[in-house]
Amino acid sequence: CDFVRLPHPRHGGPALFLCPPTIERKPGDVKDDSARVVLYEVQAQLPLGGFGQTWFVNDIVEPNEELLVVTPFDVTFLALRQVATHAKKEMFVSPEDIIMGATKTRGGGSSEWPGWRVAMAQCPALTPVVEEMRSHTVLSRLCDVKSVGGDHYYRFSEERMGQWLREKVQRVANSSALRAILQLGPPPPTNTATTSIRGVHGGNDKTTALPTNAAIVDVPLPVAFGVVAEYVVEEM
C-alpha cells in the first residue's frame, strides 16, 4: 500500500490518500462495489470533546491523540475537479486529454499540482486510480459524450454533474452506515399487541402479534448535502 498526497477535490490543497494493493479481479467482482474501490481517503480524528491522550483499539492502547480513519473514496470527485478546471472544458476531448491535460491555474494550491501524468510516474500505485478516472463510467457522470468511430470524447456538462450530485446526495441520505453513526436507527419495540382468535372449541385464544417494523429514518438532507458538498469544486 502507498500513502500519497493528492489535491483535495474541493479546494485543491494537499490531502492524504491511500492506494490499496492491486488485487486481480474475478468475473463475479464486477457486481461487488468493494471490488471497484481504487483509493481510500485518510483523515485524522480527535477524540470526542477534543481532548484525549489515548485510544483503545480492541485490546491495544494507542498513545496518539489522533486516530487515522481510512474510508473508501469515490474518484469521481477527483475527476470532477480535473474536468471542471480543464483548460479545454468547452471542447470535446479524449479521456487521456481530459484527465492528463492541463488545467486552468486557480487558487487553493492547484498551481503546485504537477498533474496526473507526473503523479502516476512518481507513484505507480496511482495507475488504477487514473484508469478509473478515465473510464467511461466515471466521465459519463460528468460530461456530455460524443462517439466517433467507436471512440468516446467528453465535454464537461453542468447538467450531468448536477444529476450525478443529486443522486449522490440521495444515496448518502439512504446510507445505513451513516444512519448508524448518527444513531438514527429505529427504536426497539416496547409494546406488543394481543389479538383474539377463535379457539378450537369455540373459545377465544389470545396470541401476541409480532411487532411491526418501525419506519427507517433517513439521514437529514442538510447533513447528506454537507457530506457531498465537502468534495465539490469550490471555484465553480
Domain that includes residue 122, residue range: 2-22+36-101+114-186+219-230
Please report, for residues 56, 64, 91, the alpha-carbon distance to residue 59 in angstroms, rounded to integers and kept in the order given. Answer: 7, 15, 56
In angstroms, the CA 22 to CA 137 distance is 20
The reply to whether 28 falls in a domain is: no
The reply to whether 31 falls in a domain is: no
In angstroms, the CA 72 to CA 18 distance is 9
The reply to whether 154 falls in a domain is: yes
The reply to whether 236 falls in a domain is: no
pLDDT score at 199? 47
Residue bearing the bigger pLDDT, 143 or 174? 143
Q: Tens digits of per-residue pLDDT, 165-182?
A: 999 999 998 888 888 878
The reply to whether 198 falls in a domain is: no
The reply to whether 205 falls in a domain is: no
Q: Tens digits of per-residue pLDDT, 187-198?
A: 555 554 554 445
Q: Average pLDDT in the 57-72 region?
A: 77
> In sequence order, what E strands does the chain have?
2-7, 14-19, 40-45, 55-57, 60-62, 67-72, 143-148, 151-156, 194-198, 204-208
The reply to whether 138 falls in a domain is: yes
- Give yes or no for residue 62 having a pLDDT over 90: no
Q: What is the mean pLDDT of the chain?
A: 79
Segment among 60-69, 102-111, 169-178, 223-232 with least mean pLDDT: 102-111
SS3 216: coil
Give the count of domains, the chain: 1
pLDDT score at 27? 54
pLDDT score at 137? 95
Segment among 16-25, 42-51, 117-126 with least mean pLDDT: 42-51
The reply to whether 89 falls in a domain is: yes
